[in-house]
Chains A and B, each alone.
Chain A
Amino acid sequence: MLKKFWLILGPVIIALVAIIGIVFLNDAHPTVSYQKELTASTALTLQVFKSATLKQAALSDKEHRFVPFFGSSEWNRMDEMHPSVLAEGYQRSYRPFLLGQKGATSLTQFFGMQQMTKQMQGKQAVFVISPQWFTLQGANPDAFTYYFGTAQGLKFLQNQTGSQADKVAARRFLQVMPKSNVKTMMKRVAKGQDLTQFDQQKIQLQLNMLEHEDAFFSTWLTNDNFTKRVKPKADALPQPYNREALTQRATKLARQETNTNPFSIQNSFFIKRIKGHERKLANSQVHFSYLQSPEYTDFQLVLNQFAKTNTNVLFIIPPVNQKWAAYTGLNEDMYAQTVAKIRYQLEQQGFNHIADLSKDGGHPYFMQDTIHMGWNGWLAVDDYVDPFLTKPQPKPHYRINNDFLSRQWANYLPKK
């Protein structure tokens, strides 16, 4: 009979022991090599974005300084003037840790930050805040769900103190992702209730498991952009650093790569995304407006988080491709008003490092495609980023104002 039992349960027991052995006896906070940190910092994969292990390892590396660069799809525009290429090519004292992909917005970044609050404490960061995020709907539920990891939600639940911002964050989470396995606890936080003792234990237990899992799978990294795209371009940069020479090189490269269309859009992008339906896109953005959006609330959650960890942040506001904007009929005044509203929200609360490039979309070869910076645009970004990260900066003094969390602010229409 025992043999029979063993035949039934043996495989399960062996599997359980193997999993516990492999995953749980594995170090939850492994040391990660510099090479791997570099790979992670430019991989731009879902894995890296969700992995606490990789983010924490790189951002707390004492010998190499990684700075979180928050944003979305622009990070994937890895031409020769991309921030990661410049930092590597000129052996700067920092390396960008790129966070954010297509469709990521403030709420995604806010939950991602929950996994590295300790590592952000008193440090610096760069944040590209795109006016395109501020649509009437705000964060796209599908994109948010895609980037969201349970560990982020659990970390938030653990970090939260029942503050106004925490309640709003939980409420926004439930709006954007109504179905999840942290739903019940999020509802409690949204209502301003304390989590139960059982909840706290459950969070700790699950986090423990997820951390081990995370550490285990962090061994395998995919998408080695660093060796494939960053390093070769960094090696090709003119030495030593010369801004004039860089502009010339950027312009030369850009001219070759944008010669098939009248919008100065990178050829490959134009062929893949626009060529087939160019006509249909004319005047397609006339009614776009970024003035009213729940994104203003989500952005405030991010600002709250930066204030909480006392992180000194440089905000970059990108422009749109002017020729493309003219073709699609995007309202330039609306764009300027959006930027003004974002700037007001920043400056009123003491976020004074702002690289406002929003009016530069018409400069030659500033944009790589429709809304993403490239070549000369990246160089303009570098003019802000390099001094901000390499010269001593005074400590920031933030004055958080919770009125920016309100629906009134999200829906406020700036006067013309």
Chain B
Amino acid sequence: MTQWLATLPNLQPYGDPMYFGYLLLALLPIVVGLYFGRRFALYETAVSFIFILLMFTGPHWPQFYALVAYIIWETLLVLAYHHYRQQADNRWIFYGAVGLSILPLVFVKVTPAIDNGHASLLGFLGISYLTFKAVGMIMESRDGAIKELSLWPVVRFLLFMPTLSSGPIDRYRRFEEDYQNLPSRAAYMAMLQKAVWYIMLGFFYKFILAYFFGTILLKPLEGQALAIGGVFNLPTLGVMYAYGFDLFFDFAGYSLFAIAISYLMGVKTPENFNKPFISRNLKEFWNRWHMSLSFWFRDYVFMRFVFVLMKHKVFKNRNVTSSVAYIVDMGLMGFWHGITWYYIVYGFFHGFGLVINDWWLRKKKRTNLARKKAGQAPLPSNWFTIGFSIFLTFNITMFSFLIFSGFLDRLWFH
């Protein structure tokens, strides 16, 4: 089996235009089926299996075993917890189930940090995203939001091929509803149209713009910046913008592909980006950037953490509560990216950024209220203030991406 896996060609999802050729050809029968209101479950399973297998073949074969083991582990855990939840609701059992479900991811994230950068054997491409889905299912089981759960739908949701490697992160109930209810012909045509548009736009983003920013601009700038050295220099500023745009176009392009392929398969996977660079503040930015991730953290970390803090009356002040929750939420997200100083700093940078943002919004509200009472006009809001806030937010987020890129690590310490 291992030898066979190692000899198979490897196809990284959406890696090159060729991949789309193979994938679209394989998807054609599914598209025809959906057009005529049929879902060929068996064929779909086979295609999904083959394309998932090909992500982990060649030199990546150990990851295939890791994936299989992981799926068994998470599926059993989710089903067992769901089954338990029908009978009882002990808090500690719930914490235990969540803990066990993120345990493999913790191993994968911690191993390189303590073992000279060696990857954990448990790791595979996409483990984070599957973990988000699994944890989501456990939490919603506890809430009683997920009423029914059985083996095949869980596996199908976890292993949904288009979004396996890097999201967007879907929710079980939403996914299952799409899966069970086939779209009408007119609705499916609209989905088809959107899919074609997204694939084309994705090509433009990933293979043209991301290449321009990430290869043509970024590489020489990095060289210049490293050659000059020091704490900060002009080419490093260039690296900041080039990397930021590269990151956006690469990931947004990928997300468009994943969404488009989902649509072709009759599933309306949620959006991941919504013009993030026109945000007027950090809060808005996180409603527009990597949305499926930030919403996941909002629903399953931030909200729940705030709830726990309020319930136990940890802080008297509501604002302190939300501030602490912001920092924990974003800090955790930083750790999730990887255990290196720059990911962690990136997380806390945004955590504190959101706290400051919140404070500013409150202050503005108070001021405007006071001005209103005094019969004055509210603080000015015009093209200049709006333009300035967009400019400021844009540069703050770009700077955070410079931290995130790890380039400063190379500039300062290597």
Contacts and interface: CB of A to CB of B under 8 A. Distances in A.
Q: Do A and B bind each other?
A: yes
Interface of A: 4, 7-9, 12, 103, 140, 142-143, 145-146, 181, 184, 187, 196, 198-199, 202
Contacts of A196: 7, 9
Given A12-B200, A198-B9, A146 B193 contact: no
Given A12-B200, A184-B10, A142 B189 contact: no
A222 to B, nearest CB: 14
Interface in B196-223: 196, 200, 215, 219-220, 222-223
A159 B219 CA distance: 29
A173 to B, nearest CB: 15
Nearest to B57: A184
B220 A142 contact: yes
Contacts of A8: 189, 192-193, 196
A8 B188 CA distance: 12
Contacts of A12: 196, 200
A13 B17 CA distance: 16
B196 A9 contact: yes
Contacts of A187: 59
B59 A184 contact: yes
Q: Is the interface of A mostly helix, strand, loop or mixed?
A: helix
B219 A4 contact: no
Given A196-B7, A198-B9, A143 B196 contact: no
Given A12-B200, A181-B16, A184-B59, A4 B189 contact: yes
B15 interface: yes
A140 B226 CA distance: 12
B219 A146 contact: yes
Contacts of B223: 103, 140, 142-143, 146
Interface in B115-145: none
Contacts of A181: 15-16
Contacts of B200: 12
Interface residues of B, number: 18
Contacts of A202: 9
Nearest to B192: A8
5 contacts: A8-B196, A103-B223, A145-B219, A146-B223, A198-B9
Ranked nearest first, the 9 interchain pairs of A and B with the lowest CB-CB distance are: A142-B223, A8-B193, A198-B9, A142-B219, A184-B58, A146-B219, A8-B196, A184-B10, A4-B189
Contacts of B192: 8
A196 B192 CA distance: 37
B212 to A, nearest CB: 14
Contacts of A145: 215, 219
A146 B59 contact: no
Interface in B161-206: 189, 192-193, 196, 200
A103 B220 CA distance: 11
Nearest to A187: B59
Contacts of B10: 184
Among A7, A140, A142, A199, which residue has the most Cβ atoms of chain B within 10 A?
A142
A169 B152 CA distance: 48
A202 B19 CA distance: 12
B196 A142 contact: no
Contacts of B16: 181
B216 to A, nearest CB: 9
Contacts of B196: 8-9, 12
Contacts of B193: 7-8
A4 B223 CA distance: 50
Interface in B4-35: 7, 9-10, 15-16
Nearest to B200: A12
Contacts of B215: 145
Among A7, A184, A198, which residue has the most Cβ atoms of chain B within 10 A?
A184
Contacts of B226: 142
Contact of B220 (A4, A9, A146, A198): A146
